[in-house]
Amino acid sequence: MIKGFDQWLLPHLRQKIHAAPVTDVMLAVCDHFEPFHHTDKAGALGRMKLWREKWPTVVAQFKDHDGIGPRHSFFYPIEQYDRDVINELAALCRDSGGEGEVHLHHHNDTAENLIATLDKGKDQMASHGLLSRDQRSQITYGFIHGNWALDDSDPTGKGCGVRNELAILKQSGCYADFTMPSAPHPTQTNIINSIYYARSTPHGKSHNRGDLVNAGQPHPHRDDPDHLLLIQGPLGLEWRRRKWGVLPRVENGDLTGTNPPSAFRARRWLQLAPSLVNRPEWRFIKLHTHGAIERNREAFLGDASTRFHSQLAELADEIGFRLHYVSAREMTNIILAAEDGQNGDAGQWRNYRYTKG
């Protein structure tokens, strides 16, 4: 069905708009960062050079409630590992406060090969000072599935091949998945605008259902090897910006050169953003992009980016919330802290469980 409406439209229509006041907003940009997209190594290094020149300058101009600049989580495709490019990514993270995470494209894969791929990829990333550590000093990471096909969820059979993938990810050190939403792709789940635990099954698309995270009540299977935390971004209809002046567009949190971040979109994100059961005043806005590609640069390295962050500060003052620029890791830590009953200023829980490697 067009734009996968059959997967998510009914849940969207049933979902109530947030009515509770908002006190804290966690904003994370999770970038499917692919420097080698349709180019060679020279092109990839050229893209890294531009990001290193321009992004730290943007970050330095703005500060959130905690005195921290805009965060960027670079989910790098581990199947495209290149030492020189990853060295540049590590330097970019050091210069800007960004963080590296794991992205993976695979097709017709097996569980055994996936385990080996993840183990090799995370060790390579960690060797550059990227990724994070848990309280036992084990390597941990956030994950985005290439081509949206998490847990073999593409109905055409493309882009994965491994069912029970959530358990494999969890057991390899994945602290949370950030793939959704995927609409208009047919891999989109029925559950939307949510933060939840999904139990891995051998049937595929295990993340189509799950248990919402409840503030003050840790999930009984939170640390089980077959349950994975999933953090979704905003998904809904946008009636104020219609196609051909008639049909609503889809707001899915994708940041592009033609649809960059804006205060207009941020107001809609606040309405759609996941919160936690018993903690509606904390909103978690997880956005996504393919930021290495030239057509999307304006959303981050150009005037559209600086304009957005200025407007966002004004919006925070207008509504009266504490803005927290967070990485994927920091967003997860704040969620886990809330689940354990921690409250107050959300920014104090950025390093609650997982720390930078």
The percentage of the chain sitting over the pLDDT mark of 70, rounded to a whole number, equals 92
The percentage of the chain sitting over the pLDDT mark of 90, rounded to a whole number, equals 90
Pick the CATH number of 2-356 from 3.50.50.60, 2.60.120.10, 3.40.190.10, 3.20.20.370: 3.20.20.370
At 321, list the tokens.
């919330």
DSSP one-letter string for 49-96: HHHHHHHHHHHHH---TTS-PPP-EEEEEGGG--HHHHHHHHHHHHHH
325: Cβ contacts below 8 Å, ≥ 6 apart: 27, 64, 68, 69, 70, 71
Task: Evaluate whether 103 touches 141 at the Cβ level (below 8 Å).
Answer: no
pLDDT tens-place string over residues 189-215: 999 999 999 999 999 999 999 999 999
Task: Evaluate whether 289 touches 296 at the Cβ level (below 8 Å).
Answer: yes
Helix (H) or strand (E) holding 298: helix 298-301
- Which residue's entry shows tokens 């990724």? 131
CA torsion, ordered 248, 275, 23, 346, to nearest 10 deg:
-130
Strands (E), the chain: 24-32, 73-77, 99-104, 132-133, 139-145, 174-177, 195-199, 211-212, 227-231, 236-243, 247-251, 254-255, 282-289, 322-325, 355-356
pLDDT tens-place string over residues 269-316: 999 999 999 999 999 999 999 999 999 999 999 999 999 999 999 999
